[in-house]
């Protein structure tokens, strides 16, 4: 049987990803105040419909490659990250000034890179997202036949981040009320003019999360 030796940095990196080597050790704990960053490309569906595969595939490959580099450079202290097509989910097991600064740096740095370089020929494209403080449950399950295990996060906080991300304007980051009230993120009011669409998009959220969220105020 062939064996692969991994150094400690590689093992630490694997612990942040959805798949790791099976070691008969399982995680399963609730994080009351996780910090969750969910980001996505705005207007990507229109871009897919309007462009040939020879344009779309290189762009999304470059987007993903550079996003991973950005996460490794500025979000290295995150607890978990997962790519999701034209977006990503990053989670920190604690919400404090250090982790918040990391999340904002990831968003700001990658937004600037996209606007200045990768998305420059396609001005309708842009990054948007949500940064949320909320409850998450961290768990692992085994896939012993392949000697791998799968890890993920679920919970209201994760659902909240994904829902709020969907209504964020291009180049903007929505912040939920719990995080905004900490004073650790500069925020400004955000009013969505289409109330009916807002209610439909945020169905299943608590009343205060549907009505009371803010925009990150980048200084």
CA–CA dist 7, 14 (Å, integer): 11
Residue 58 CB burial class (10 angstroms; 0-12, 13-18, ≥19)? exposed
Can you read off the two tokens belonging to residue 185?
Answer: 């993120």
pLDDT of residue 129: 97
Q: How far apart are the first and last CA of the chain?
A: 56
Runs of H (alpha helix) within 43-188: 44-50, 53-74, 97-113, 156-165, 177-180
pLDDT in tens, the chain (219 residues): 455 565 566 566 656 766 666 566 667 889 999 999 999 999 999 999 999 999 999 999 999 999 999 999 999 999 999 999 899 999 999 999 999 999 999 999 999 999 999 999 999 999 999 999 999 999 888 766 667 778 889 999 999 999 999 989 999 999 999 999 999 999 999 876 665 556 666 777 877 777 778 999 998
For 135-172, the DSSP string reads EEEEEEEEEGGGTEEEEEEESHHHHHHHHHHTTPPTT-
State whether residue 175 is helix, strand or coil: strand
pLDDT score, position 183: 95
Q: Could you tell me how many helices (H) and strands (E) the chain has, helices first? A: 8, 9
> In Å, what is the CA distance from 24 to each residue of 16, 17, 84, 142, 204?
17, 17, 27, 8, 36
Superfamily of domain 23-216: Nucleotide cyclase, GGDEF domain (3.30.70.1230)
For residue 191, give both structure tokens. 């009013």
Q: What is the pLDDT of residue 161?
A: 95
């Amino acid at each position: 049987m062939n064996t692969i030796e991994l150094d400690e940095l590689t093992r630490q990196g694997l612990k942040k990803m959805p798949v790791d080597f099976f070691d008969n050790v399982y995680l399963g704990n609730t994080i009351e105040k996780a910090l969750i960053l969910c980001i996505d490309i705005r207007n990507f569906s229109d871009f897919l419909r309007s462009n040939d595969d020879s344009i779309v595939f290189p762009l999304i490959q470059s987007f993903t490659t550079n996003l991973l580099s950005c996460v490794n450079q500025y979000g290295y202290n995150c607890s978990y990250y997962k790519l999701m097509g034209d977006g990503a989910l990053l989670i920190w097991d604690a919400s404090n000034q250090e982790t918040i600064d990391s999340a904002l740096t990831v968003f700001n740095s990658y937004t600037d890179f996209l606007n200045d370089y990768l998305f420059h020929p396609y001005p309708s494209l842009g990054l948007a997202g949500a940064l949320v403080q909320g409850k998450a449950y961290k768990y692992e399950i085994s896939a012993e036949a392949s000697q791998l295990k799968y890890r993920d996060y679920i919970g209201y906080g994760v659902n909240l981040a994904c829902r709020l991300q969907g209504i964020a304007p291009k180049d903007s980051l929505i912040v939920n009320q719990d995080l905004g009230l900490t004073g650790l993120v500069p925020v400004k009011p955000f009013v969505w003019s289409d109330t009916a669409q807002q209610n439909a998009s945020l169905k299943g959220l608590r009343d205060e999360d549907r009505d009371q969220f803010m925009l990150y105020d980048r200084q």
